Structure 1
Amino acid sequence: MTEVKIIAGELVGVKYKPGFKFNFTLSVPQVDVKEFALFLEHDRQNDANHNAMLTLADEGKAPYCIYVGINPGKLTMPDGTVRGMRMNSYDLFDREYADFVVYELIPYITKTYELNLSTSPDMHMISGGSSGGISSLVMAWFHPEYFRRVYMCSPSFLAMGRGNELPYLIRKYETKPLRIYHESSENEPNDYFGWSRGIDEETDKGLVFAGYDYRFAQFKGEGHSSRYRNQAEAYQRFEWLWKDYQTKPITAPANSPRVNQVIPFGSRWELCDEFPVKTSPEVPTAIRTYDHVLPSFDSLTWYAADRDDDIVYMYVADDALAVEKRILHATLHTIPRIYPKGAIAMATDAVDRLYVLTAIGVQCVRSFGLIDVILDLPDDTMPIDIAVTDALYVKTERGVYRRPLCPDCTDFEHPTRKYTSYYD
């Protein structure tokens, strides 16, 4: 097996995870290559994973990787005591830890130790067990432009704040360009925070439903993270994760059936010159206090929402309309520390699907209140407005974007659709 150089280091978070001190170990293969791939491992060094990847690289089945084994952050208190921040690093459904790794840790490592690291996301793998497992998926979820290969063993979805929602968001969002290897065992914890095996299986079904490039292994009679440090198992999982790495980039192989009802598979946001002119409806006096109000496509109801409230309300468009007669129509999905939580703008299509522009994506609400699809935003700046005409348009701080919709969504001249109920 190829010799490696081991380097120990530490980094304190500045913009992301400020004050958290992270210790890390680097393993640098002593080989002459143009550039290295990246293998980021939670909870510092796992010899089984490290050695399996080296063996695969020696056999030509995987690239040589800079192995980064990182420990959870620690925080020094005013009295000098040091507090472990594992949960505050790993078990959060937000992007701050991922941003720390992508924007602070990796640039620091490559610059300080003069490492020639590939910039291709296809050459970046992330791995972890338990809390490190869910953190691996969350990091790739928020940064698919950086990480494309994910190994998670017994991921602790239920120990994470809001982590229980991720398996359901997987079904609703567009499928991301990720290859995921997921391990679980029959005897996962059934504890105060929930049944881990159950949500592992829910995640499995969600990833399959959404069409991910994905493999699931479940071990009967075994317990939590039972094969995380099994080198033979590690060899098999990484061989699959890196298959065809030299010839086939990782892409999203499909979208879920619901997403396919809204956008053609393979369509992308494209910059355009102009945002469509929007007409302003005459809003009833009783509901003018909302930030956003618009009529349904059939004009039988009004949709109303505020920027800082995660609820979309519905009002029946009759003479008795009054603010106290509001109907809770849809509860918007939110992600911790991404603001605002409510509607930034709204639009409807030709099948009375409501498009709610939010800070986490375009949330598509069926006419009976179900959010079944969430479309990714076109860029990473704050969205400003949305419109549906011949296509879907979104304006952000960076520009105006256009994206094709499926034909039914833009067929506003259909002779009978206006009088059809869209309850499915």
Structure 2
Amino acid sequence: MPVVPFSPLASDQEAVTYEHGPDSLAQPGVRAGTVREFVIDDSRAYPGTIRRVWVHTAAGHDPSSPAAVTLFNDGWWYLDPAGDVRAGIVLDNLAAQRAIPPMIGIFVDPGEFPGSVMPKNRNNEYDPGDTRYVQFLLDEVLPRAIEGLTFGGGMGICGGSSGGNAAFTAAWHRPDAIARVIAFNPSFAQMPGGNPYPALLADGETRRIRTLLHAAHHDIGWNDREENWFAESLETAAALARSGHDLRLVVGDGGHSPNHGGVLLPDALRWLWR
């Protein structure tokens, strides 16, 4: 039976920073994986946008051997080895431990409009509850990303903030393709028309989705009656639990930050791909 080390409860919930564990740090004897970058500047789903995509494979990866895929929204924020999430380092360490199946990590930046006063297309891509973003991932990103590699073993998706609700929305619409979700601090509250998932789940809609959902106690509007990002995450988690979904909810201190989610990523991937 696992024993959880003692950790004091933070008295100031705003000023909290979680310390990364060893799986988020480059480890002696673990070779860095390979990262390939390409650009999408001809999107059919989001015309006029340009974006970068990175494809990570662990050291020693056999391109002829079937591998699972995890998609990461906000690509470089999640791949950056000096950032809060450090997903490339995490994937290298977990691959060396054989803690997850052979994995292709695909890191997708949101689109930008070159030369525009409002260049980023992030919220337009991530916040709507429709199928456009997931079809973009499946039809336009995935075929280019796995070129020269062998895909097999399922697909998951990870994101935070708007990227978190985009991850859940992608799996909700296409659980046949993406059946595993990690959502850190999702911004369900700012979806146009409001968060649809608690009501949909209460009305009996279900999906074969495994979801790790993270919420920060002092997320945006955490004690407000409306636009309460913390409460929306809890209500979505409760609806998933009541409807029998494979769910793990993790609640931390602090505000709307990628820090805690980044610290959780190694164990989130272990749980997601168990």
| Aligned with residue 260 of structure 2, among 212, 227, 230 | 227
Q: Which residue of 2 aligns with 1:65?
A: 103
1:74 aligned counterpart, secondary structure: coil
1-side partners of 2:171 and 2:210: how far apart?
10
| Aligned with residue 149 of structure 2, among 83, 98, 115 | 115
Q: Which residue of 2 aligns with 1:158?
A: 189
| Aligned with residue 201 of structure 1, among 224, 234, 249 | 234
The residue type equivalent to 1:106 in the other structure is: L
CA RMSD between the two structures: 2.1
Question: What's the CA shift for 1:139?
Answer: 0.5
| Aligned with residue 92 of structure 2, among 47, 54, 73 | 54
Gaps spanning 5+ residues in structure 1: where?
Answer: 244-424
2-side partners of 1:241 and 1:213: how far apart?
10
List per-residue Cα deviations over 1:341-371 (Å, max 9, x = no partner): xxxxxxxxxxxxxxxxxxxxxxxxxxxxxxx
Question: What's the CA shift for 1:2?
Answer: 3.6
Q: Percent identity?
A: 24
The 1:109/1:82 distance shift into structure 2, 3 A limit, reads farther
| Aligned with residue 74 of structure 1, among 112, 136, 142 | 112
Structure in which a larger fraction of residues adopt helix: 2
1-side partners of 2:162 and 2:170: how far apart?
12
Q: How many residues align?
A: 233
List per-residue Cα deviations over 1:270-324 (Å, max 9, x = no partner): xxxxxxxxxxxxxxxxxxxxxxxxxxxxxxxxxxxxxxxxxxxxxxxxxxxxxxx
Question: What's the CA shift for 1:61?
Answer: 1.8
1-side partners of 2:198 and 2:40: how far apart?
32
2-side partners of 1:176 and 1:145: how far apart?
9
Q: Which residue of 2 aligns with 1:83?
A: 119
The question of whether the paired residues in 2 share the 8 Å contact of 1:76 and 1:82 is answered with no
List per-residue Cα deviations over 1:23-63 (Å, max 9, x = no partner): 11221223243122211111113243332233222212201
1-side partners of 2:226 and 2:57: how far apart?
39
Question: What's the CA shift for 1:125?
Answer: 1.3
1-side partners of 2:165 and 2:135: how far apart?
16
The question of whether the paired residues in 2 share the 8 Å contact of 1:54 and 1:64 is answered with no
The question of whether the paired residues in 2 share the 8 Å contact of 1:75 and 1:85 is answered with yes
1-side partners of 2:166 and 2:39: how far apart?
20
1-side partners of 2:60 and 2:158: how far apart?
23
Q: Which residue of 2 aligns with 1:141?
A: 172
Q: Return structure 1 stretches of 4+ with deviation > 4 angstroms.
A: none
Q: Which residue of 2 aligns with 1:95?
A: 131
Tell which has more relative contact order, 1 or 2 (C-alpha 8 A, sep 6+).
2
Q: Which residue of 2 aligns with 1:35?
A: 66
The 1:82/1:23 distance shift into structure 2, 3 A limit, reads farther
Q: State the TM-score, normalized to the length of structure 2.
A: 0.78
The 1:195/1:67 distance shift into structure 2, 3 A limit, reads same
Question: What's the CA shift for 1:82?
Answer: 6.5
2-side partners of 1:171 and 1:31: how far apart?
46
Rg larger for: 1
List per-residue Cα deviations over 1:138-157 (Å, max 9, x = no partner): 01111111111110001001
The 1:107/1:207 distance shift into structure 2, 3 A limit, reads same
The question of whether the paired residues in 1 share the 8 Å contact of 2:71 and 2:156 is answered with yes
Q: Which residue of 2 aligns with 1:215?
A: 248
